[in-house]
Amino acid sequence: MLNEKVVQLLNQQVNNEFYSAYLYLDFSNYFGSKGLDGFAHWYKIQAQEERDHAMLFYQYLHNNGARVELEAIAKPDVPLDSPMGVLQAGLDHEEYVTSLIYQIYAAAQEEKDFRTAQFLDWFVKEQGEEEKNAQDLISKMELFGNDPRSLYLLNDELKTRVYAAPSLVL
């Protein structure tokens, strides 16, 4: 059986991941309203990825005899005032999620819950990729965002993102 503190943190993370999906759908909506359908597509894929992350936590809890406690998902409150502001908010959010994963990992280690720590290893690696992807978008926008032709090409590049569901064995 899982430690109650670890279960509580894992349950919170289920809801945090669903919030992330909701936030990224909001970002997609913003970019769609600006005619940047490639950026909108990129964030729709990101939302799908976050939903799948939530379901990995959900399934892990079920597989270990813990009850999943679903809470209300908060309305995103990130100001969507510029494309660069949205991208920066995405990076900030990923860094926040990383801190949440680290918090669960630390609790699992403290409780000698090695199974959960091993489960979280994948998420630690994944968060490194998430932060890099968010930073790469910012870097590209800094390079190309002020030139309409370059922004058009970047937007087209982002349309090509394809989602592959994670293959994490629980």
Q: Are the CB atoms for 105 and 124 separated by under 8 Å?
A: yes
Domain count, the chain: 1
Q: What is the pLDDT of residue 52?
A: 97
Residue 164 within a domain: no
What is each CA distance from 139 to 38, 65, 66, 91, in whole angstroms? 16, 44, 42, 11
Structure tokens belonging to residue 162: 């394809």
Residue 77 within a domain: yes
Residue 134 within a domain: yes
Rounded CA separation 144/62 (Å): 46
Residue 165 within a domain: no
Residue 169 within a domain: no
Residue 149 within a domain: yes
Residue 107 within a domain: yes
pLDDT in tens, the chain (170 residues): 799 999 999 999 999 999 999 999 999 999 999 999 999 999 999 999 999 999 999 999 999 999 999 999 999 999 999 999 999 999 999 999 999 999 999 999 999 999 999 999 999 999 999 999 999 999 999 998 888 899 899 999 999 999 888 876 66
Rounded CA separation 49/47 (Å): 5
Amino acid at 13: Q
Look up the pTM and report it: 0.94
Residue 168 within a domain: no
Residue 48: which CATH number?
Answer: 1.20.1260.10
Q: What is the pLDDT of residue 145?
A: 81
Residue 121's domain comprises 4-158
Structure tokens belonging to residue 169: 């064995």
